[in-house]
Amino acid sequence: MESTFRVPALKRLLVTVPLACAALLPLASEARAQDTSKDCPPGSWFCGETQPPAAQNKDLQPLPSEKPADAKPAESKPASPPPPVVVYQPPPTTVVVQPREAPPAYYYVPRTAPRRSEWGLNLHVGGLMLGRGRDDNAGMALVGLGLRYRPAPAFALEVAADFAGGRDYNGFRRNEHALGFNGIFFLNPKNKTQVYLLAGFGWQGATATDDRSGRDDIEYKYGYFGGTAGVGLEFRLSKAVALNLDIRGFVRGRVDDHRRQYPEFTDSNGRTTNTSGGGIFGGGITFYW
């Protein structure tokens, strides 16, 4: 029964509330239309914000001035002078110069030319110094040529062929030919004027003719082997041409088959020897390539 009673009562309530709201809406609209100058109280549910008509703005009173009308004008004060112009000058900059160490001295080192070998053809002339001789007329002249190989600036090898003619120590007319091998040592090869030492050995052959008696000429044949040593100067005129002067001493002994039967020299006491010696003073020119 209780559930039956509550259902009709709820239905009546749902019907009655909307009807009452519909009846109150016309009254609220009329009341809002009558009083448009007042805003709804805060929190009113039926009122919206009211805006005054735009036409009423011309009837608004101007706002009062910030300054009252009877306010006296402010007394004029003398103008203060303008602030002084300040020109800023930065302090002078102090430049500190640090002394730099001087660079090391430059020493020019000439590039050493690569060592190269040289060949040379030497032409020379000279004179043989044999002493005064038995007839006080000993002396011989010499001409020759040599092929020189210089593998280093300070050293050279030379093979030379010489020819000489004149009078020997015994006064005989004499002709000689020689083949020699010499080593030449240059003491200062970088200079134009070079000092050199030489030493070598060689073979000589000679033909002597005794033509002093006016009879049939007697001819003698000799063969020698000996050594040579000397000192000289070479003047380098250019890279390809050089002049030379030297003095050489030689000592030789006979090596032919008749050395024992026919000794070459016999003194007043009857002593014999086949050993002889002398000197050669000469000069020449060398063409290098």
The identity of residue 42, as a single letter, is P
Residue 156 maps to a domain: yes
User: What CATH number is given to the structural domain containing 154?
Assistant: 2.40.160.20
* Structural domain of 211: 118-249+279-288
Residue 207 maps to a domain: yes
Structure tokens at 199: 């030493």
Comparing C-alpha atoms, which of 220, 221, 215, 149 is closest to residue 183?
Answer: 149
User: Has residue 111 got a pLDDT over 60?
Assistant: yes
- The rounded distance, in Å, linking the Cα atoms of 252 and 270 is 21
Residue 161 maps to a domain: yes
Residue 245 near residue 233 (C-beta atoms within 8 A): yes
- The rounded distance, in Å, linking the Cα atoms of 111 and 115 is 12
Residue 29 maps to a domain: no
Residue 199 maps to a domain: yes
Residue 178 maps to a domain: yes
Lowest-confidence region among 2-6, 47-51, 266-270: 2-6
State residue 78's pLDDT score: 65
* Span 48-72, pLDDT tens digits: 555 555 545 555 566 655 555 555 5
Residue 256: CB atoms within 10 A of its CB come to: 16
Number of domains in the chain: 1
Which whole number is the average pLDDT over 212-217?
71
Residue 138 maps to a domain: yes
State residue 93's pLDDT score: 75
Which whole number is the average pLDDT over 238-246?
96
Residue 90 maps to a domain: no
User: Could you tell me the pTM of the whole model?
Assistant: 0.59
